Amino acid sequence: MHPEDIATAVAEELEKTGSGINVRYIVSDVRTPGDAAKVLGEAIDKPELPWIEFTDEQSLNGMAQAGLPEEIAGLYTEMGTGLRSGAIAEDFLKNKTSVDGKIKLEDFALEFASNF
């Protein structure tokens, strides 16, 4: 999701009156990691840019070697596990939540390329 889409959704939620717990997914685009690598690669003139997956152990070790605190590296590794297993997207997919963000991957890729 793009920060502008997040800001729009937050403003809408803050204007609502209500009580209880509400869940709102902020989704700009639903794509595979391979799609993201392809679109971003094309935007920066690297059309063969691959998506490379690491094992949890490789990921954890790489972050630790880069100096990331152990707790943070562990949390990022846990997030990667949840993304790959589908656990993170499970509720979103089960409830067929709409994709209401305005800024799609191709739009972001142009923004990314201009700052690359």
Query: Does 17 have pLDDT greater than 90?
Result: no
Q: For 6-35, what is the mean pLDDT?
A: 87
Phi-psi category of 10—alpha, beta or left, where left has phi over 0 and alpha has psi -120 to 50? alpha
List of residues 6+ apart from 42 with CB closer than 8 A: 109
Tell me the pLDDT band of 73, cut-offs 50, 70 and 90.
very high
Give the residue-averaged pLDDT of 50-54. 93
**CA–CA separation, 68 and 78 (whole Å):** 14
Which tokens in the block code for residue 106? 């191709």
19 has pLDDT over 80: no
Average pLDDT over residues 70-94: 93
For residue 22, what pLDDT is reported? 80
Q: Across all residues in the chain, what is the average pLDDT? A: 92
Report the predicted TM-score, pTM, of the whole model to 2 decimal places. 0.77
Residue 93: its H or E element: helix 90-94
